[in-house]
Structure 1
């Protein structure tokens, strides 16, 4: 943005420069923003305005930029997302004009969203699922068939905001593409705004990654500790992973054993609770081991409210 100083320096001679300054002075005195400033600070006289032409010009220029804002990325002000605010004070009979940079509403909103996003970790989940805007009205109206499930999720969100964390989470089950992951991302986003931390983990990729890290216990411990301690933990698409005994018993089992009676864990799956128990009971290495499956399910079944998500497949739409 061109400053008043630059404009004056561009003038060829002293007389022209003075005439141009007088012209700008007249324009500023006629500017509605300067009129409001003088109404607020009656002591702001013409002499003080002339002494502070650059500050006042900067303020009016930035005000017009903000009034025609097309977004932070195109902000033409000297400091992106900020505008100049003026104030007056009288000290020893001398009127002084002060300026300060103020964050605009768009910058404040972006910073707020960044703080919310910083509370959420995603593992193998497309970040776009977490960064997009969410509208409760849109979620309710997008598919009336899943309205009951949406109501249960929103009720859970509201109770958590009012009463804080409880050990009970949610187990969302339903057909492919009915929006289970979307609903859990919505829950994470809403509760992050209330100050809670969260993580969402795509189970098939997570399990395969853990298998490759079996000999790197430091990395495994770091990941497991994060999932133990986060306020809200979501295992997405559980049942689609190819388990081995070590991941089941020493990774997943350790996380759930720590979280039960402490913090809520959430799940999305195409399988119901009984079917997922059968899934946990079988591994390619050990075959069928119902005891191990039941042991893991004891850390899930008693700590979730089951939510059936019905509706049509939204993928590819």
Structure 2
């Protein structure tokens, strides 16, 4: 932002510096913002404003910039997303004018949004879906066929905000495109606002990536530890992955074994629980292993509330 000194230097030739300063002082004294400042601080007078002309000029200019805000990315003030605030203090016979920088609402909102984003880690889930903002009323009315399931999700969010992190998660089952992933993204965002960390994993792509991580033990351990420790873990589209015995028994099993009775795990799936168990019981490598499928389900079924998500297929619709 242009300073008062720069402005005075650019003043038309033929006027002395005193004339320039006096002219700017008269403009500032006539500004409504300065009038409010004088009303708020009776000890503030024209003499003190004269001594602090550059501060007062910056205060007035930045407030006018904020009144016509072009957006944070084009903020014309000295410090992006901040404006100057003036205060006056009298100690004994000495009166001083002080300035400080204050964050604007847009800057604070961006900080809050960045804090929420920092609590959420996504593996292969569409960022557009993850970041989309809706109110609870919009979600309830978006598809009345799924109103009951939406009510269950909203109730869970409210309960967690009121009582703290739950041991039990949610298992959202239903046909393709009914909004199961969207509802879990909404839950994740709402609880991130309350300070909880979360990880959401799109299972088909994640399982394929895990196979590559077998040769990167450090990265594998870091990823598994993150999923163990995060407050909220969502396995999206579970049952659609091409499962191997190693992923099922040593990765997924280890994560769920650690989290059960500690932290909630959430799932979206086209399968109901009994069909998911059959999926876990068969791998292309070892064939039918029903006992291993059941063992994994023992770490899922007792720790979820099943939510059946009805509604029409919304994929491809605007």
Q: Could you tell me which residue of structure 1 aligns to residue 27 of structure 2?
A: 27
Q: CA deviation at 1:13?
A: 4.9
Q: Does 1:246 align with 2:249?
A: no
Structure 2: segments with no counterpart, 5+ residues: none
Q: Could you tell me which residue of structure 2 aligns to residue 45 of structure 1?
A: 45
In the TM superposition, what are the counterparts of 1:78-89 in structure 2 within 5 Å? 78-89=78-89
Distance 2:207 2:191 in 1: 27
Q: Could you tell me which residue of structure 1 aligns to residue 304 of structure 2?
A: 304
Q: Could you tell me which residue of structure 2 aligns to residue 187 of structure 1?
A: 187
Q: Does 1:200 align with 2:200?
A: yes
Q: Could you tell me which residue of structure 1 aligns to residue 210 of structure 2?
A: 210
- Partner SS for 1:207: helix
In the TM superposition, what are the counterparts of 1:1-317 in structure 2 within 5 Å? 1-11=1-11, 13=13, 15-317=15-317
TM-score, reference length from structure 2: 0.97
Distance 1:69 1:135 in 2: 26
Q: Deviation per CA, 1:208-230, whole angstroms, max 9, x where unpaired?
A: 11112223322211111110111
Q: Deviation per CA, 1:59-102, whole angstroms, max 9, x where unpaired?
A: 11111111111321121111000000001112342321110000
Q: CA deviation at 1:14?
A: 7.1
Distance 2:195 2:174 in 1: 29
Distance 2:154 2:45 in 1: 57
Distance 2:215 2:29 in 1: 74
Q: Deviation per CA, 1:158-179, whole angstroms, max 9, x where unpaired?
A: 0011111121100001111111
Distance 1:146 1:133 in 2: 19
- Structure 1 segments, 4+ long, off by >6 Å, are none
- Partner SS for 1:121: strand
Structure 1: segments with no counterpart, 5+ residues: none
- Partner SS for 1:267: strand
Q: How many residues align?
A: 317
Distance 1:216 1:108 in 2: 40
- Partner SS for 2:268: strand
- Partner SS for 1:166: coil
CA RMSD of superposed structures (Å):
1.3
Q: Deviation per CA, 1:237-283, whole angstroms, max 9, x where unpaired?
A: 00110000000000000001111111110000011111111100010
Distance 1:187 1:43 in 2: 53
Distance 1:206 1:160 in 2: 28
When structure 1 is superposed on structure 2, of 185-194 and 16-25 the one drifting more is: 16-25
Q: Deviation per CA, 1:6-30, whole angstroms, max 9, x where unpaired?
A: 1111235574432232222111111
